[in-house]
Amino acid sequence: METLKINRDREEVSGMVVLNGSKSISNRTLIIQALCEEKFEIENLSSSDDTIALQKALASENNIIDIGAAGTTMRFLTAYFAVFGSKEIILTGSERMKQRPIKILVDALQELGADIQYLENETCPPLKITGQKITGGKLEINATVSSQYISALLLIAPALEKGLELTLVGDLVSRPYLEMTLNLMNYFGVKSNWSENTIIIKPQIYKAKPIKIEADWSAASYHYAIMAFADKGKLQLKGLFKESFQGDSVLSSMMEFFGVQTKFLDDGVELSKVGEAESNFEYDFIKCPDLAQTITVVCAGLNIKGKFSGLQTLAIKETDRTKALQTEFLKMNVRFEEVGNTWEIYPENIELNRNISIDTYHDHRMAMSFAPLSMFFDNGLTINQPNVVSKSYFYYWDDLKKLGFKIKE
């Protein structure tokens, strides 16, 4: 399946979607389970490629582990294998993974005493890791690039002989993801103290406890976009919690700007289209970067000028996401431009009457964020390499069909 042609009218959207477990929570939980002395039950584990890659890696007895394009998996396993056992592991991935920097995390682990070597390009995978006991102690880390580096260190901190006193240097990006990590660790019995820019975790033992993984709020964003584009309707999304570990849960309030109201139910949410969008949108995505692509597309579809800050982490994702958005928007005469430290979108001259194909750049979020825009194209919208959605949302196209989208290979 190399292309999909997608089409749907905007008149009314109704239905129900059962969302898969959060990839972010699933991956953190799997690392905690691997570090726990006793196993525990995990319900609603994500079926994403990233989570499957992590499961296979943790269960593998091979010395060479290829995690493909799974960025979170690469970072979490780098820290995990540095402290687990004594065997030598070669940790590698896709060609894009071999271009994604990991030096900040490797430097931090090496400072703690880890035995890690680069095998090709300095600063990027593949890595040769020899597991050994690490004492731990005090450490500083650059907090301006990726919170995943920090989460990787926090997850292994209780297993270090002296624990970890981690000082975050610079303006922290994606703080909610660190809060998610610490809250999950607390759920499994590990206490932490976060005061100003320092996080302290003493040596402790994870306690086995069953967990039900909440659904993925970033996956929900694509259905919120569908509702924003619809003229009317109601849509239930199962598995989302009001009290959420995920920073992306801010989506429920953010989408009110676009006329979408959220009602929390016992087992999920109900979305309603209750009004028209406002005229100008402005938001800082530093705490929820995975929502940025969806919201830029919503602005384009609804002809709303938008101003987006906090997008600096998007350059080191599966692709350079800001440049990818810029390229694809140009195909429909929408300008998406970098202005100082922000990006601005100008959709006033959008052209929706042409046959347009969206390239996905090996990036699941490019495919999923642009798909709802097909509701504005009479002749449909083509998505190239649509299988990339399996990285985080394997059943995405099936769920769109349930909501009335016509999808042809």
Answer whether the bond into residue 386 is a cis peptide, omega within 30°: no
In the sheet that 260-265 helps form, which strands lie side by side, from edge to edge?
Answer: 13-18, 233-238, 268-273, 260-265
Please give the C-alpha separations between residue 202 and each of 68, 79, 136, 141, 178, in angstroms, as whole numbers. 33, 17, 10, 18, 17
Residue 287: the pLDDT is 84
CA dist 154 and 212 (Å) reads: 22
* Cβ–Cβ under 8 Å, residues 283 and 356: no
CA dist 261 and 118 (Å) reads: 49
Residue 316: the pLDDT is 52
Residue 152: the pLDDT is 97
Nearest 5°: phi and psi at 358? -100, 120
**Given this chain, do its domains 3-21+214-408 and 23-211 carry the same CATH topology?**
yes
Residue 315: the pLDDT is 59
Radius of gyration of the chain (CA): 21
Q: Which helix (H) or strand (E) holds 80?
A: helix 71-83
Residue 398 makes CB contacts below 8 A (sequence gap 6+) with none
Q: Report, as residue numbers or ranges, the catalytic residues.
A: 290
Q: What is the per-residue DSSP string for 287-342? A: T-GGGHHHHHHHHHHTT-EEEEE--GGGGGSSS-HHHHHHHHHHTTT-EEEEETTE
* Structure token pair of residue 140: 């500083």
Q: Compute how many other C-beta atoms are within 10 angstroms of the C-beta atom of residue 246.
A: 24
**For the chain, domain boundaries:** 3-21+214-408, 23-211
> Domain 3-21+214-408 belongs to what architecture?
Alpha-beta prism (3.65)
Residue 310: the pLDDT is 83
CA dist 63 and 130 (Å) reads: 10
From the first residue on, what is the mean pLDDT of each consecutive set of 10 residues in the chain (409 residues)?
A: 91 95 95 95 92 95 92 95 88 92 95 95 94 92 90 97 95 87 97 96 97 95 98 96 90 96 96 90 90 94 92 65 89 89 87 88 92 93 94 93 94
Q: What is the per-residue DSSP string for 160-220? A: STT-EEEEEESSPS-HHHHHHHHHHHHHTT---EEETTEEEE-S-------EEPPB-HHHH
Q: How large is the greatest C-alpha to C-alpha distance in the chain, in angstroms? A: 63
CA dist 240 and 257 (Å) reads: 20
Protein fold of 23-211: UDP-n-acetylglucosamine1-carboxyvinyl-transferase; Chain (3.65.10)
